[in-house]
Structure 1
Amino acid sequence: MSTLRQKWITAPLLKWIKKVLPPISDTERAAMEAGEVWWDAELLSGKPDWEQLLEMGPPTLTDAEQAYIDGPVEELCKMIDDWQISYEDHDISPEIWEFLKKNRFFGIIIPEEYGGLGFSPTAHAQIVTKISTRSTSVGVTVMVPNSLGPGELLMAHGTDEQKQHYLPRLADGRDIPCFGLTSPEAGSDAASMVDRGVVCYGEYKGEKTLGMRVNWHKRYITLGPVATVLGLAFKLYDPEHILGDEEALGITVALVPTDTEGVTIGQRHLPAMQAFMNGPNWGKDVFIPMDWIIGGQENIGHGWHMLMSALAAGRGISLPSLSTGGAQLAARTTGAYAHIREQFGISIGKFEGVQRRLAEIAGIAYVLDSAHKTTTRALDQGRKPAVVSAIMKAHATNGLRQSINDAMDIHAGKAIIDGPSNYLGNVYRAVPVAITVEGANILTRSLMIFGQGAIRCHPYLLQEMEAATNPDSEAGVKELDALLPKHLLFQLKTLGRAMFHGWTGGLFASSPKGVGDAAKYYRQMNRYSAVLTLVTEISLMSLGGELKRKEMISARLGDVLSELYLMSCTLKRFHDDGSPKQDRPLLEFAMRSGFHNIEVSLLEVFHNFPVRFIGHLMHFLTMPWGHSIRAASDRQARACANLIMAPSETRDRLTQGVFLGNPGDGVDVVEQAFLKSHETAAIREKMKKAGIRSLSVEAVEEARSKGVISDEESTQIKQTAEAVDKAIQVDHFESLGEQTATD
């Protein structure tokens, strides 16, 4: 029976699969093989195991990590003058550079045995987050050596000799690293790289040595102008067949001291008014010995896989940390400013249009911080979730963009006038940089998240693709024949689950124990997990390789997967925090917004599906009633807005990573005015009841003389008025570069 089935069913099906399944390039295969699947696979299973996620527990810090954040990190933040860095010097001061080296900020992830700090991903993330709330330029300077770069690559792939030489020097700042991947011809498309090395013999230290003659032009290289060691990616060729029969050996990664003959380095780019070091470099006929390849000669051609492995973890920490810090800063300062700033005699935070924006800001900060913590917790446990890291990079930076845009709108003139007291301007200008680097968001969203996620997370698809590409067709038929019954059963279960939950609105979906009133959200998460899984199955079966080119469809399905991940993390965070009642408005707003986004994305998939009948069929099977969950209500928005306009444990929890500033700094000035305003709220209310609404000196004197307030209260309210007046002022200058005072 099995032989007949293989001959008449499986073999023809294998031929069909070869035609319809999307082809996988070598670079795509390397990207898919790098890292691992994790919670993303559960979400694409149609029935996520919530116990697996909730039992991870919250992220934690060791005593040494907490002491470092409370000590050197706090001290560093106090040293930073971001205005001077960004507008006057266009560089970090020598004192800060020395402080970074002395306190091993460049060795956060390097093990203690090599002189580094050996901190966890959670500690690494919290350090970058806090610094970024003070200065994006310093945050990037600390972030890059601890993310994709020589340090991480050496630890994972370097030889013992390379580790012993370089890691101590990187940890204490004797060597400053950068990594050269992007070139003018190849940004996101590494396969188009033209930087080229040729295997040859050359002279090194007076001896004939086997190596490579390399030529390159790299750009957009962070820390490039000041780097002493360059991690270099290039394509290696062996035209004389010195190493073997193959001529094209593939992308290779080497470490090159920047003082090597033929290396040109030192010029700068100026990225979006940011002051972190970034620039191009060139190599002309540079001879590189074979033992400069990371991991030695045996790693020739493995460079792309090495880079993707590193990126699978690093992309989930670096830019999400910066984005989370920026979103927290926006929530803390915008809530405070909206409370103290008055127009038409009332706080602008009481205008409903402003309240909706405040709610969005608070919701984004809550979701990003939740996802940030959950992702770093997974990394703490040794996971390298590649698709999740891509989700985090794209959606954290995009969330920062929305958050900071809304914050700028609410601050209005306060945020659009540059000067030392403007605490949002540089974060705003950093957003396009964050959106663009480590995988441009447009490509990450439209090609990577779903394109890789659907294949990697599927329990059978990748194996079926491998069977289809097996050069031994008979073996391929046998492999596929073993998979088909399992896949068919999976499809039937997914169809039944998605239809049942879709037609019943998820009312009968399961939820984990001990989650209280949040159970309704878990049920809806299970519902949409099943729907996404079914839609993925149908899309792959009906479009095959064409789905890869339908980037708008792929992007929307990726958005659904991303929302499910972000919402999972939000539920986990609420659970980890002990389900505090006062945080519930944040949870409600985030979940309602997320479900609304999921339904919009799915309906757009159905309405734009290339095969119209199948689009209508998916709509009928999974969402027969159309929109079934409304977006967050006005009541919920007001509740979220109020949470960041009043002192509370929730506000402090939400913005825990924010450096609150030195006395007199912009953030500190707004924070102090905010606190004084709340401290004198009762006094102000007495004045309003007496018909005195202004805080002018004359109005306060009138209230005192009429006995509405006491002398002590008069003093307090005057101090509040002065603090508020100082907080709403902006900087002005005699002439360009000559600051005199604030308005």
Structure 2
Amino acid sequence: MDFDLPETAVAVRDGVAAVAAKYDHEYWSRCEEEHRFPTEAWQDLADGGWIGLCIPEEYGGGGAGMLELAVACETLAASGGTAGIFLYILTPGFGAMTLARHGTEEQKQQILPGVATGETQFCMALTEPDAGSNAIEITTSGRVDGDELVIKGQKVWISGVENARWMLVVARTTPADEAQDKLGSRTGGFTLALVDVPEALAAGTLEYAPIPKLGGNVVTSSQVYFDDVRVPLSNVIGAVDEGFPVLWDVLNPERILAAAGGVGGAEVALRLAAEYAREREVFGRPIGANQGVQFPLAQLKAKTELARLMTYKAAWLFDQGRPCGNETNVAKLTGAQVAWEAADRAFQTFGGMAYSKEYPIERLFRDARIGKNIPVAEELILAHIGTQMLKLPRSY
């Protein structure tokens, strides 16, 4: 696609594409089969400066913004590394972006240089068994004890714990039923803190158990248990009880990067489907000459371009410090939908061969499906669009 991206974003697209070209579909499928983190691709991206993009230059990063990060994530996914979007969501998104915008000087100096080199990875712990998108209901608690925060509770579907040095944990330091009276709002009482994962594991206060899952196995997703994990108050992001605005500033980048990954996933699915449709002959002509094959692919190409534009718009607004919640949600919705629809249509285009692991279609198919559920279910996005953009009554 020809698009007047800033020169910085074009450089990112070209640079990430050059690295990604070294890692073919067979590589990503092998990592998936072996449930193995793509260490080689990760380090190559880090060495090129493509992991530390949004880290300020004084801490070893590229000093770029959300738009460049989204382009990098999209480009990696479009190369075939669709599960590789976790590489951008977990560490540059949850870690680098959060610290660059909200961390203390001490936190930045301590952590960001390691992220820029690829040595340091992140994960984030928000979702609980009884509180996912309804984050206000989380019950994992944080209790201030002297100069420490003591965290107790359980999280679920936490990806990347096995590789993470740091975990960004969201805890309730004031219970929801008390927050309204004490703090003036039920969104008060949240605290975000950095847990040193190896240290907590060694102390026996943190445990995790991987969850067997359908796809995205280049990182594990785990149940995580906090049994009085002690965190220095100097590791709090923002202030105790005042983490909700920071949380939203974490979730918007997550949704933008998920949208970008969806756009890239749609692009690679359509590219493979078009190549196959040009080459596969039935009844004496390529199947791509049949409008029943061609038109659905063409329709999805149009949808992909529109999802890309909305993703770039959301990222640009975020970089400008302007409200972007509506655009972020629309981008995530359309990016996830077109990724799934494109993977499904590629599956149909390949016919029975799509079921074979000779082709990457089955992997793209599995990777695409989860985007309709995470990082937020599309039903809740539709509810947001209905109530916030169309001003319709709430249904919940």
- Which TM-score bucket, shorter chain as reference? 0.7 to 0.9
The match for 2:105 is 160
What secondary structure does 1:548 align onto?
coil
C-alpha distance in structure 2 between counterparts of 1:270 and 1:392, whole Å:
29
Query: Do structure 1's residue 449 and structure 2's residue 385 form an aligned pair?
Result: yes
Q: How does 1:146-225 map to 2 (within 5 A)?
A: 146-147=92-93, 149-201=94-146, 210-225=147-162
2:91 partner letter:
P
What's 1:660 paired with? Answer: none
8 Å CA contact retained: 1:331, 1:362: yes
Number of aligned residues: 379
Identify the residue that residue 88 of structure 2 maps to in structure 1. Answer: 142
The CA deviation at 1:351 is: 2.3
Classify the secondary structure of the residue corresponding to 1:443.
helix
- Is contact 2:19–2:44 with CA below 8 Å preserved after alignment? no
Q: 2:286 aligns with which of 340, 347, 350?
A: 347
Taking the aligned partners of 2:71 and 2:16, their CA distance within structure 1 comes to 13
- 1:77 paired with 2:77, answer no
SS at match of 1:175: coil
Q: State the SS of the aligned residue for 1:252.
A: strand
Displacement after TM superposition at 1:380 (Å): 4.5
Q: CA deviation at 1:341?
A: 1.3
- Corresponding residue of 2:394: 548
1:382 CA drift (Å) = 4.0
Quick one: distance in 1 between partners of 2:373 and 2:160?
A: 17
Counterpart in 2 of 1:312?
252
The whole-number CA distance in structure 1 between the counterparts of 2:69 and 2:49 is 12
The CA RMSD measured in Å over matched residues stands at 2.6
Q: Is the 8 A contact 1:408 1:415 kept in 2?
A: yes
Separation in 2, partners of 1:351, 1:314: 39
Q: CA 1:237 to 1:452, structure 2 compared with 1: closer, same or farther past 3 Å?
A: same
**Corresponding residue of 1:385:** 324
Separation (CA, whole Å) in 2 of partners of 1:426 and 1:416: 10
1:378 and 1:406, CA in 2 relative to 1: closer, same or farther beyond 3 A?
same
Q: Deviations over 1:243-263 (max 9, x none)?
A: xx8799611111110113344
Could you tell me which amino acid in structure 1 is paired with residue 327 of structure 2? V
Equivalent-residue separation in structure 1 for 2:111 and 2:323 (angstroms):
24
Alignment of 1:186-335 (within 5 A): 186-201=131-146, 210-237=147-174, 250-258=189-197, 259-260=199-200, 261-265=203-207, 267-277=209-219, 278-295=221-238, 299-316=239-256, 318-335=257-274
Change (3 A) 1:257 1:368: same
Q: Which amino acid aligns with 2:41?
A: I
> How much does 1:412 deviate?
0.8
Give the corresponding residue for 1:338.
277
Q: Secondary structure at the match of 1:135?
A: coil
Deviations 1:166-222 (A, max 9, x none): 222222233211110011121111122110122223xxxxxxxx3232202112112
Larger radius of gyration: 1
- SS across alignment from 2:63: coil
What letter is aligned with 1:174?
A: E
Distance 1:72 1:358, change over 3 A: closer
Residue identity matched to 1:356? F
Instruction: From the superposition, tell whether residues 291 and 381 of structure 1 become closer, same or farther in structure 2 (CA, over 3 Å).
Output: closer
Deviation of 1:128 after TM superposition, in Å, equals 1.2
Amino acid paired to 2:125: G
**How far apart, in 1, do the equivalents of 2:174 and 2:394 lie?**
31
Distance 1:327 1:282, change over 3 A: same
**As a proportion of its length, which structure holds more strand?**
2
The residue type equivalent to 1:82 in the other structure is: W
Counterparts of 2:30 and 2:66 in 1: how far apart (Å)?
A: 31
Q: Quick check: 2:254–2:375 contact (8 Å CA) kept in 1?
A: no
Unaligned runs of 5+ in 1: 1-56, 202-209, 239-244, 455-535, 541-546, 552-743
For 1:233 and 1:413, locate their aligned partners in 2 and report how far apart those are by CA, in whole Å.
Answer: 45
Give the aligned residue type for 1:453.
M
TM-score normalised by L of structure 1: 0.48
Change (3 A) 1:84 1:213: same
Secondary structure, aligned partner of 2:173: strand
Tell me which amino acid in the other structure corresponds to 1:184.
P
Unaligned runs of 5+ in 2: 176-181
In structure 1, C-alpha distance between the alignment counterparts of 2:317 and 2:245, rounded to whole Å:
21
Aligned to 2:178: none
Q: Distance in 2 between matches of 1:372 and 1:211?
A: 39
Distance 2:20 2:277 in 1: 29
Cα distance, 1:280 vs structure 2? 2.6
What residue number does 1:38 align with? none
